[in-house]
Chains A and B, each alone.
Chain A
Amino acid sequence: MLDRREFVQQLLIDRGDLLAVPGLGSATYDVAAAGDHPLNFYLWGAMGGTAMIALGLALARPDRRVVAIPGDGDMLMGLGSLATIGVKQPKNLVVVVLDNARYGETGMQPSHTDAGVDFAALALACHFRQARTITHIEEATEVRKLLHAGEGPILINAKIKPDDVPRVLPLRDGHAIKQRFIAALNDA
């Protein structure tokens, strides 16, 4: 099982012009903890929408790499979006689910993945080009390569330890997060 902070940190090393959409709750805190960046579109709500926001972005900017980073609860709420992504086949999109099999924000109640629901199998059934589950930090380097060069759509189910880690709170004003992101994207 992965340490969530260490894994996300390694995922975003030398990120270049990668566009990142972390889902509400711990995923947003993990991405912020790895280093604030204007090309992070932090979500504080819109549960279930993370992968779809990333899809709209990936379709609009086929010249750029896009990663969605939902937690397992967020991904479960938007399972249909895996099918929608599978239909559109965006080559530049990777979904990395941070799966601790828990609802961390509400008191660590078990999620469906705790009972064996398998995102990698779901993604393959939805015609993702590649999907797999990882449990060891040594695999982070390979996942990072996929973020930057793998042919999407790809889903990585990252099994993380259900630790309660300190919150790292980034920008919370939605207009500011959006404007900063758009400005940085137009700047590049």
Chain B
Amino acid sequence: MHNPADIATSWPDAIYAHFRRVGVRQVGYVPDAGHSRLIALCQKDPQIINVVLTTEEEGVGLVAGAALGGQRAALLMQSSGVGNCVNMFSLLRNCGFPCIALVTMRGEFGEFNPWQVPMGVITEEVLRLCGFLTYRVESADAVDEIVGAGCDMAFNGNLAVAILLSQRLIGPKQWTR
């Protein structure tokens, strides 16, 4: 799947491999540095429809519509994006739509920008209140197993599953200027 030697940076490849394995056909996202490698992989794949959103909330509708049409869809977002989705998440719970959300965490380990902290510290709790099963990934070597399990639970069980990719895994945002 990927070379263990550079797993520290290649962990998004494992997520992409699971998207391929379970047949994800639509991916919705607002551009995100933490997801940039995964987004590039999805963009290169002719089997995946990439939908760039103006707000993460749109992605919840996208996932529901895709499922109605028989396609599996995934959402990529930052922790701040979770807050943008709250009421729309009720669509998933009311109708039992499967959803796999990959959430890159901000506002935790090593965060430079305090404005990211209020949403970052409540992200997992908010997801749970909205009916998601949540799993945290703290290290690169755990990505494959946890994302694989999350995808299977979402699509086999029509469940909403969120994988929280910790800021320690992604690395704090680099401020070069």
Interface residues of A (CB under 8 A from B): 19, 21, 41, 44-61, 64, 78, 80-81, 83-84, 87-88, 174-175, 177-178, 181-182, 185-186
Contact = CB atoms under 8 A, between A and B. Distances in A.
B95 A60 contact: no
Contact of A52 (B52, B62, B87, B90): B62
Interface string B47-72: 00101111101111111111111110
A54 B87 CA distance: 18
Contacts of B53: 80, 84
20 contacts: A19-B68, A46-B60, A46-B61, A49-B61, A49-B88, A51-B61, A55-B51, A55-B61, A56-B71, A56-B73, A57-B66, A57-B69, A59-B69, A80-B53, A84-B51, A174-B95, A175-B95, A178-B68, A182-B70, A185-B69
Q: How large is the interface on B (under 10, 10 to 19, 20 to 34, 35 or more residues)?
A: 20 to 34
Nearest to B65: A56
B94 interface: yes
Contacts of B78: none
Contact of A59 (B51, B57, B91): B51
A59 B55 CA distance: 19
A59 B58 contact: no
A6 B132 CA distance: 41
Most chain A CB atoms below 10 A, which of B69, B73, B95: B69
B70 A186 contact: yes
Contacts of A55: 51, 61-62, 65
A146 B95 CA distance: 30
Interface of B: 25-26, 49, 51-55, 57-71, 73, 87-88, 90-91, 94-97
Given A174-B95, A177-B95, A56 B69 contact: yes
Contacts of A78: 58, 61
Contact of A56 (B52, B64, B88, B94): B64
Contacts of B59: 52
A56 B28 CA distance: 10
A56 B62 contact: yes
Contact of B66 (A44, A45, A56): A56
B65 A54 contact: yes
Given A53-B62, A59-B66, A60-B70, 11 more contacts: A45-B87, A46-B64, A46-B87, A49-B91, A51-B61, A55-B62, A56-B68, A56-B69, A59-B65, A60-B71, A185-B70
A45 B65 contact: no
Nearest to A43: B91
A57 B69 CA distance: 5
A74 to B, nearest CB: 11
Most chain B CB atoms below 10 A, which of A59, A88, A175, A185: A59
A52 B61 contact: yes
B88 A41 contact: no
Contacts of A53: 61-62, 64-65, 68, 91
A117 to B, nearest CB: 17
B88 A48 contact: yes
Contacts of B49: 59, 88
Contacts of A64: 69
B54 A57 contact: no
